[in-house]
């Protein structure tokens, strides 16, 4: 599917009905990586939800508009997308990595519409990323990536996953590598040179929306300190720092991540937790 926002095309897929959930993937991939990780959890939820997975600008089938020069421009595009595709209805936002950075800003900018927020392996502004991060190392390695993948794909696989198993190798081969091949790196470099989002916060200082924050204990890209510090901004935040998980925690700890996501959905839907 495609939406036209201020003259720019935004490709997206959607599943289900009910309360809309806008799901934002990370940098260097497209919607496929996060969709394959989250759809099993959404399918297990007591209530159906309308899940919207856009390809962010310069990734997947969404081209990088020439006028998009900064992350503020990307955020404006997302606000327009939500208005066009969701309308005036309240909605939830989920983001992974770069998508979590945008998701948090979207929730700040639209506090009357964003009813809940899930941040997975969130990155932040440059100063927030200065916190110590562990060196990348594989905790489990039961596959020969060099034999199974081309040399460049084997390298990205080894540096992304801390659990290097047949299951994560298949995820990488089927969903991550194909989406990475579509990235407009020149466009992303231009935007990321203007990384820091300006403060558009309209939410109250004590934000009481249901929030989930997940980080991998072994995440060498975002670390876990920033994720833990975000809890102070949200009065109803559940924070999970998952062992045996890096930046790809949704693929490495799918059961635990799904359980916490389902609890967050129950809180957003006003259902009793079990």
Q: What secondary structure does DSSP assign to 40-59, as a single string? A: HHHHTSSS-EEEEEEPPTTB
Domain-located, residue 147: no
Rg (CA), the chain: 18
- For the cut 80, the answer to whether the pLDDT of residue 67 exceeds it is yes
Q: What is the pTM of this model?
A: 0.96
Its domain, for residue 235, covers 2-133+183-269
Mean pLDDT of 205-227: 92
- Quick one: which of 182, 177, 190 has its CA closest to 60? 182
Domain-located, residue 157: no
Instruction: Tell me the three state secondary structure of residue 107.
Output: helix
Burial class (CB in 10 A: 0-12, 13-18, 19+), 151: exposed
Domain-located, residue 141: no
Residues comprising the chain, all counted: 274
Domain-located, residue 244: yes
pLDDT at 202: 66
Q: Which of 52-61, 215-224, 265-274 is predicted with the least confidence, judged by mean pLDDT? A: 265-274
pLDDT in tens, 217-253: 999 999 999 898 998 889 999 999 999 999 999 999 9
DSSP labels for 136-188?
P--SEE-S-HHHHS-HHHHHHHHHH-SEE-HHHHHHIIIIIHHHHTT--HHHH
CATH number at residue 214: 3.40.50.1820
pLDDT at 11: 99
Domain-located, residue 177: no
User: How does residue 199 score in pLDDT terms, banded at 50, 70 and 90?
Assistant: confident
User: How does residue 184 score in pLDDT terms, banded at 50, 70 and 90?
Assistant: very high
Tell me the two tokens of residue 17.
């009905």
- For the cut 70, the answer to whether the pLDDT of residue 59 exceeds it is yes
pLDDT at 130: 56
The separation between CA 159 and the C-alpha centre of its own chain, rounded to angstroms, equals: 19
Domain-located, residue 161: no
pLDDT in tens, 98-156: 999 999 999 999 999 999 999 999 998 764 555 779 999 999 999 999 999 999 999 99
Report d(CA 227, CA 237) in Å as an integer: 11
- For the cut 70, the answer to whether the pLDDT of residue 204 exceeds it is no
pLDDT at 232: 87
Domain-located, residue 156: no
**CA dihedral of 15, 174, 259, 161, whole degrees rounded to 10:** -150
pLDDT at 127: 46
Domain-located, residue 160: no
Tally the domains of the chain.
1
pLDDT at 205: 60
pLDDT in tens, 31-58: 999 999 999 999 999 999 999 999 999 9
Tell me the two tokens of residue 264.
């967050």
What does DSSP say about strands 91-96 and 19-24: parallel, antiparallel, or unpaired?
Answer: parallel
Q: Which residue has the higher pLDDT, 201 or 237?
A: 237
Q: Which residue has the higher pLDDT, 3 or 126?
A: 3
- The fraction of the chain above a pLDDT of 90, given in percent, is 87
């Amino acid at each position: 599917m495609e939406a036209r926002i201020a003259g720019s095309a935004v490709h997206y897929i959607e599943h289900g009905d009910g309360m809309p959930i806008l799901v934002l993937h990370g940098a260097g991939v497209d919607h496929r990586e996060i969709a394959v990780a989250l759809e099993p959890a959404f399918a297990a939820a007591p209530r159906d939800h309308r899940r919207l997975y856009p390809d962010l600008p310069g990734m997947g089938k969404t081209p990088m508009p020439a006028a998009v020069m900064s992350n503020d421009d990307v955020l404006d595009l997302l606000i327009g997308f939500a208005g066009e595709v969701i309308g005036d209805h309240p909605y939830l936002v989920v983001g992974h990595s770069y998508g979590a950075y945008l998701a948090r800003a979207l929730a700040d900018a639209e506090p009357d519409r964003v009813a809940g927020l899930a941040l997975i392996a969130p990155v932040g502004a440059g100063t927030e990323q200065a916190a110590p991060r562990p060196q990348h190392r594989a905790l489990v390695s039961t596959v020969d990536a060099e034999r199974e993948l081309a040399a460049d794909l084997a390298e990205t696989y080894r540096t992304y996953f801390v659990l290097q198993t047949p299951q994560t190798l298949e995820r990488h081969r089927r969903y991550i590598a194909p989406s990475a091949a579509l990235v407009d790196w020149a466009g992303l470099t231009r935007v990321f040179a203007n990384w820091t989002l300006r403060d558009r916060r309209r939410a109250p200082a004590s934000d009481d929306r249901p929030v989930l924050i997940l980080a991998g204990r072994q995440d060498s890209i975002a670390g876990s300190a920033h994720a833990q510090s975000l809890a102070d901004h949200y009065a109803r935040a559940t924070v999970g720092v998952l062992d045996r998980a890096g930046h790809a925690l949704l693929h490495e700890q799918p059961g635990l991540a799904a359980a916490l996501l389902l609890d967050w959905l129950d809180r957003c839907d006003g259902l009793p937790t079990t």
